[in-house]
Amino acid sequence: MGTDRVLMIGPDRSVHGGISGVVNNYYEAGLDRRIDLCYIGTMVEGSGVRKLLQAVKAYFSFLGKLPHYRIVHVNMASDTSFYRKSVFILTAKLFRKKLVIHQHGGNFPVFYEKESGPAGRKYVKRVLSMGDAFLVLGTAWKDFFGEIIGREGITVLPDAVQLPALYPKQYGVHKLLFLGRLCREKGIGELLSAMPGLQRQFPDVMLYLGGIWEDAELKKQALSMKSCVTDLGWVSGSEKQKILRECDILVMPSYFEGQSVSILEAMANACGIVASDTGGIPDMIVDGQTGLLVPPKDAKALEEKLLALLADADLCRRLGENAREKAAAEYSMEQNIERLLAVYEAISG
């Protein structure tokens, strides 16, 4: 039972979300062919009862498999995800397993500093300190979690993507794309409020929204703007790749973000990118080089940066091609898997 046997937990692979996307990317890239990988989904979408049943079922499955695996890899976020995963972490340590804690939560600072009292923060610190390896998505997260558990055991492991083959991308088509949860925290309100101003200067502009709606009021607003907004629903696989090819600009105006797989996918497809200056995003988007950064919750700045790309196809191309080069150099799935395997090897030894 060495480094080649890993029991990994996280949200079910069917869930529409960032962590599930990361795990599915691991499988598509063949991580399960490199090691004996068993994945247990601890959360599904649906009612509270359905989620509770899944958590209980996952825990008993975890107990049954735990003796056969040396390393436990826990993918977690904040809030309910943290408390649910803490039970698995405590159990893994009870069984003296090597433990990798992989933190994806963009909202963790709010959860830790504002929503948790002194006892809660003490529990968070205790649980997070149990990892033999602690993985974060960017340098800002190493700084943040370093204040809680110390920097020594923290490794920056950004998310990664499979790079599509190069293709002749069209710029100046004025097609904006958003991929992700369709909610206020993703900046959808600011994005919709920017569209009339964009449309006045560029009547052909179209915003494509790919995701699951979590806010009825915003959905109603978007559906009333059919002249410049198209609701795609959830897109994945070849359908997602097709829309990434067709759109020349990706916009990600999140209030907070661990890291954004959607931005990585857009970089891999040489899109011009406008994104919030928050969380792990500045590691990917160097302002003026691989995209344009805006302050979160600033609709005026968002509109100005989008106008800059809509007005200048050459700028959009330059930023997009630089982003593609950065994705290939720093965020390829092959590199990511080798670094993850090195983490497993280090804690196992």
CATH class of 5-160+332-348: alpha beta
Task: Kindly give the confidence (pLDDT) of every residue in the chain, 349 residues in length, as a single tens digit, with 9 standing for 90 and above.
Answer: 445 799 999 999 998 888 888 899 899 999 999 999 999 999 999 999 999 999 999 999 999 999 999 999 999 998 999 999 999 999 999 999 999 999 998 899 999 999 999 999 999 999 999 999 999 998 999 999 999 999 998 999 999 988 999 999 999 999 999 999 999 999 999 999 999 999 999 999 999 999 999 999 999 999 999 999 999 999 988 999 999 999 999 999 999 988 888 999 999 999 999 999 998 899 999 999 999 999 999 999 999 999 999 999 999 999 999 999 999 999 999 999 999 999 999 999 7
CATH class of 175-330: alpha beta
Residue 342 is predicted with a pLDDT of 95
Residue 99 is predicted with a pLDDT of 97
Q: What is the pTM of this model?
A: 0.85
Residue 169 is predicted with a pLDDT of 96
Cβ neighbours of residue 214 closer than 8 Å, sequence gap 6 or more = 181, 182, 183
3-state secondary structure the chain: CCCCEEEEEECCCCCCCHHHHHHHHHHHCCHHHHCEEEEEECCCCCCHHHHHHHHHHHHHHHHHHHHHCCEEEEEECCCHHHHHHHHHHHHHHHCCCEEEEEECCCCHHHHHHCCCCHHHHHHHHHHHCCCCEEEECCHHHHHHHHHHHCCCCEEECCCCECCCCCCCCCCCCCEEEEECCECHHHCHHHHHHHHHHHHHHCCCCEEEEECCECCHHHHHHHHCCCCCEEEEECCCHHHHHHHHHHCCEEEECCCCCCCCHHHHHHHHCCCEEEEECCCCHHHHCCECCCEEEECCCCHHHHHHHHHHHHHCHHHHHHHHHHHHHHHHHHCEHHHHHHHHHHHHHHHHC
**Rounded Cα distance, 151 and 143, in Å:** 7
Fold equal for 5-160+332-348 and 175-330: yes
Every domain of the chain and the residues it spans? 5-160+332-348, 175-330
State both tokens at 5: 């046997």
Given CA atoms 154, 76, 283, 31 in this order, what sign does their dihedral have? positive
**Rounded Cα distance, 3 and 319, in Å:** 40
Note the Cα 119 to chain centre separation in Å: 29
Residue 21 is predicted with a pLDDT of 85
What order do you get walking across the sheet with 133-136 strand by strand?
36-41, 5-10, 71-76, 98-103, 133-136, 154-156
**Rounded Cα distance, 55 and 76, in Å:** 14
Residue 16 is predicted with a pLDDT of 84
